[in-house]
């Protein structure tokens, strides 16, 4: 008996953008399109470019609902109608929102079709953009979505503990296979003490904390000649530069700007440090571990504790009040602990080598084979329940 092909539509704000959700959405869609039982397509609110930033498999069709961006509100009403028409014409079985905020359109569309709805959350339950608006949509999602996909187990528990979920919540991490590090083990020059942080110079990433931490390293380890590169651009550049001057770490903390290629940065660094206030699943930590870099991060919500093996391939530093992981304010004691953890890896080569050797221990669950297996299981179970 020939099995019915399952038609899956990924719903995006704009799949031509170069953001993290677009990249991982493309990765998962491409992988599923290689399976004979799935027919995959993309529909976006709009397309900002004629070509997507990330390569989409040729067998995947893509379209958009509007020629221009439309702000949330009454302007969404005709888009809901167009989405319903697309789903019916395309005979879509499963609709996957690659941003949960799109549920405001897809939930009404679900009511008018027999589509199975999966809401894919890329932030964490407590932190994310569009505060009140997103919280309202999450209530809608919890009631009507057939499944919510979170990036971490920690976030899955937050949903289950704080919301009345009508159907299911499933954690599936993002795959890291887009990074292709050298097959041979990199021989790093341990004498060059280079620390790396990558990301937008924004409040979320917490780079305003770096100068204070660097100053403590400089004070407590005056013999340590290090450079800390914060690679990226953003609205907090001027504030970070002021902090660099205030703490007198102009020679230690550098802001080289945006980099088109991050691979050489990982190859030349010794340690990766993440100072973020909150994350969903911080891919920079996975990228760093792909290059066998020990990582030091504040133990924030969410992600670092499921990536870093504390005391084995990196360090998780408590931030804020006791038991309050993900606190916005870094205390002086937090900065001390972070400085000591980084300095320890830069001064103890035996410990550094041990950590580096263990960076791959838990990486299999973040590779495409494992990730796509979890997606396929979810899709097949949902189809079995609804079809």
User: What was the pLDDT predicted at 184?
Assistant: 63
Q: What is the pTM of this model?
A: 0.88
Six-digit token string for 105? 């359109």
Q: How many CB atoms lie within 10 A of CB 71?
A: 7
Do 169 and 161 meet the contact criterion of CB atoms below 8 Å apart?
Answer: no
Distance of alpha carbon 188 from alpha carbon 293, whole angstroms: 10
Beta bridge partners of 147: 118
User: What was the pLDDT predicted at 19?
Assistant: 83
Do 86 and 65 meet the contact criterion of CB atoms below 8 Å apart?
Answer: yes
Question: Prior bond to 302 cis, omega within 30?
Answer: yes
Measured torsion, CA atoms of residues 51, 54, 58, 60, in degrees rounded to the nearest 10: -100
Distance of alpha carbon 293 from alpha carbon 271, whole angstroms: 6
Do 266 and 291 meet the contact criterion of CB atoms below 8 Å apart?
Answer: yes
Q: Where are the beta strands (DSSP E) in 45-99?
A: 61-64, 94-97
Phi, psi torsion values for 385, nearest 5 degrees? -80, -35
Tell me which residue of 57, 168, 65, 66 sits closest to 117, measured CA to CA: 168
Do 341 and 333 meet the contact criterion of CB atoms below 8 Å apart?
Answer: no
User: What was the pLDDT predicted at 76?
Assistant: 82
Output Rg (C-alpha) for the chain, integer angstroms: 22
Do 119 and 150 meet the contact criterion of CB atoms below 8 Å apart?
Answer: no
- The SS3 assignment for 41 reads strand
**What is the per-residue DSSP string for 116-174?**
EEEEE--S-SS--SSHHHHHHHHHHHHHH-SEEEESSHHHHHHHHHHS--SS-EEE-PP
Sign of CA dihedral 255, 258, 260, 263: positive
Length of the chain: 387
Do 215 and 248 meet the contact criterion of CB atoms below 8 Å apart?
Answer: yes
- The SS3 assignment for 231 reads strand
User: What was the pLDDT predicted at 183?
Assistant: 66
Do 94 and 382 meet the contact criterion of CB atoms below 8 Å apart?
Answer: yes
pLDDT tens digits for the chain (387 residues)?
Answer: 345 789 999 999 999 998 888 999 999 999 999 999 999 999 999 998 989 999 999 999 999 999 888 777 777 888 999 999 999 999 999 999 998 788 889 999 999 998 999 999 988 888 765 567 777 888 888 899 999 999 999 999 999 998 888 889 999 999 998 887 766 667 788 899 999 999 999 998 999 999 999 999 999 999 999 999 999 999 999 999 999 999 999 999 999 999 888 888 999 999 999 999 989 899 999 999 999 999 999 999 889 999 999 999 999 998 875 444 445 688 899 999 999 999 999 999 999 999 999 999 999 999 999 999 999 999 999 987 554
């Amino acid at each position: 008996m020939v099995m019915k092909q399952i038609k899956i539509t990924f719903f995006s704000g704009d799949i031509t953008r170069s953001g993290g959700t677009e990249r991982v959405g493309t990765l998962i869609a491409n992988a599923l399109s290689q399976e004979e039982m799935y027919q995959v397509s993309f529909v976006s609110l709009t397309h900002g470019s004629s070509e997507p930033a990330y390569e989409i498999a040729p067998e995947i069709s893509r379209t958009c609902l509007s020629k221009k961006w439309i702000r949330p509100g009454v302007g969404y009403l005709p888009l809901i109608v167009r989405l319903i028409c697309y789903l019916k014409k395309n005979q879509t079985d499963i609709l996957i929102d690659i941003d949960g905020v799109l549920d405001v359109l897809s939930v009404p569309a679900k009511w008018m079709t027999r589509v199975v709805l999966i809401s894919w959350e890329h932030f964490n339950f407590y932190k994310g953009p569009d505060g009140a608006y997103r919280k309202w949509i999450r209530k809608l999602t919890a009631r009507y979505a057939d499944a919510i996909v979170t990036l971490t187990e920690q976030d899955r528990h937050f949903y289950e503990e704080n919301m009345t979920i009508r159907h299911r919540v499933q954690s599936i991490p993002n795959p890291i296979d887009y990074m292709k590090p050298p097959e041979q083990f990199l021989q790093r020059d341990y004498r060059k003490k280079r620390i790396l942080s990558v990301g937008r110079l924004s409040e979320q990433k917490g780079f305003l904390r770096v100068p204070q931490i660097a100053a403590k390293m400089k004070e407590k380890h005056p013999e340590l000649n290090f450079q800390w590169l914060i690679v990226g651009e953003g609205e907090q550049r001027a504030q970070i530069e002021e902090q660099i001057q205030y703490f007198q770490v102009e020679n230690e903390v550098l802001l080289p700007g945006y980099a088109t290629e991050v691979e050489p940065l990982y190859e030349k660094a010794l340690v990766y440090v993440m100072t973020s206030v909150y994350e969903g699943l911080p891919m920079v930590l996975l990228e760093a571990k792909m290059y066998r870099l020990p990582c030091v991060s504040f133990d924030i919500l969410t992600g670092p504790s499921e990536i870093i093996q504390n005391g084995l391939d990196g360090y998780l530093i408590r931030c804020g009040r006791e038991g309050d992981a993900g606190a916005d304010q870094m205390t002086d004691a937090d900065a001390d602990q972070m400085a000591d953890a980084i300095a320890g890896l830069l001064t103890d080569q035996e410990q550094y080598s041990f950590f580096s050797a263990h960076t791959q221990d838990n990486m299999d669950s973040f590779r495409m084979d494992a990730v796509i297996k979890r997606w396929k299981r979810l899709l097949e179970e949902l189809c079995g329940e609804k079809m």
